[in-house]
Amino acid sequence: MSLETTITDAWQRKAPWLWLLLPVSGLYGLVTLLRRQAYKLGLFSSYEAPIPVMVIGNITVGGSGKTPLIISLVDHLQQHGVKVGVISRGYGGDSSQMPALVTIDSLPSVVGDEPCLIVSMTQVPMAVCPNRQQAIELLIEAHPDLQLIIADDGLQHYALERDIEWIVVDAARGFGNKQLLPTGFLREPLSRLKNSTVIYHQKPNDSQVNDEASSKLSALTMQLQPDSLQPLLSANIDDSQNSSISETTVPATNSINNKVHAVSGIGYPQRFFNTLEALGFEVIGHAYPDHHDFGIDELLQYKDYPIIVTSKDAVKIRTLLTQDESKVAYSAEETDLVTQLWVLPVTAVLSDACYQTLEQQLTAVGIVLTENNK
């Protein structure tokens, strides 16, 4: 188990030994406060984009459902005639090749896995760079008609001014021991939620109100709804020895043979495991660090049962299996692996109040939604 997964597990268990790190958290909190105040006082400069910017992020380490939320928002805005673009720091990509535009053919190793997923799902104009100003300038240069930019995971990037700010909170996961890094998994104190639009991520069909969510939970909420399992790799392979790839059978639930490997390199893998269990699978969970680069050998050790991965992990695994253009055929071992690999896509379903709030916020910055174009 890596250090990252060990710490993540300790946060979730509220392990007592984490309190030994409290002095470090105190120093972290002081530095965070001073940095934010420096931007407020103008001691550090912030970039103001020529068009409105909507930042979507979280105050916790680990997944909160932010990427599916962005995909659903982009789809909604595109349907209503808004010319939207997305920027990201491109975590996991090659910063030496940034700023870079993200296309349907971009590689996760260059631009990051989440940008590849967002563009593959929405075809939205997108650019990546740790320097968000450079990403925005490149994106607007390539798409001068953009009306709105969504900044993925830029909540703590105070060098970028924002017109709208949404913070995603996983209501089921909560805030652990409510301490800052590294004692807890908070990037910023809970007071940071004040004066921002907070979207509470609930479990599907969960009507329980979390104590920290208070009255807003019933209004500004989202859920991740699992879609149907899909084969990770298309079976369009001409070589006859690989014809068995097309003979894959969807893993069964609630049956004698419903055991699956759930392989995950996301920020909060337990949510993924829980979702599969709720669907009726007997889950053997394998948690890897967030944005993990999987190797063939790692995946081959799990092919005794179907392997199910998230859409984000699928982006890199698919590239891993197809990046060698000189390969004319899969080995027998790789063919067996491909037939066992499945993806569980999820869709972020937002409450009506989220869309009403979004429309009000966009109207305030001069963006008017048109009738649904679909």
Per-residue pLDDT, 133:
98
- What is the distance between the alpha carbons of residues 262 and 184, in angstroms, rounded to a whole number? 26
**pLDDT tens-digit profile, the chain (374 residues):** 677 778 888 998 899 999 999 999 999 999 999 999 999 999 999 999 999 999 999 999 988 899 999 999 999 999 999 999 999 999 999 999 999 999 999 999 999 999 999 999 999 999 999 999 999 999 999 999 999 999 998 899 999 999 999 999 999 888 999 999 999 999 999 999 998 999 999 987 665 444 444 444 458 999 999 999 999 986 444 444 444 444 557 787 766 678 999 999 998 899 999 999 999 999 999 999 999 999 999 999 998 999 999 999 999 999 998 875 555 567 778 888 889 999 999 999 999 999 999 999 999 999 999 987 55
DSSP E strands: which ranges in the chain? 53-57, 84-88, 100-102, 126-128, 148-152, 164-170, 197-202, 221-226, 230-231, 259-264, 282-287, 307-310, 341-344, 346-350
Q: Is the alpha carbon torsion for 274, 11, 217, 29 positive or negative?
A: negative
What is residue 80's DSSP assignment?
T
Instruction: List Cβ neighbours of 329 (8 Å cut-off, separation of 6 or more).
Output: 237, 239, 241, 242
Per-residue pLDDT, 366:
98
State phi, psi for 57 to the nearest 5 degrees.
Answer: -155, -165
- Whole-model pTM? 0.90
Place of tokens 């075809």: 123
Cβ of 227: how many Cβ atoms within 10 Å?
Answer: 11
Per-residue pLDDT, 195:
86
Per-residue pLDDT, 256:
62
Per-residue pLDDT, 63:
80
Short-list 60, 118, 50, 47, CA closest to 88? 118
Place of tokens 């698919």: 318
Per-residue pLDDT, 247:
52
- What is the distance between the alpha carbons of residues 288 and 37, in angstroms, rounded to a whole number? 36
Instruction: List Cβ neighbours of 191 (8 Å cut-off, separation of 6 or more).
Output: none
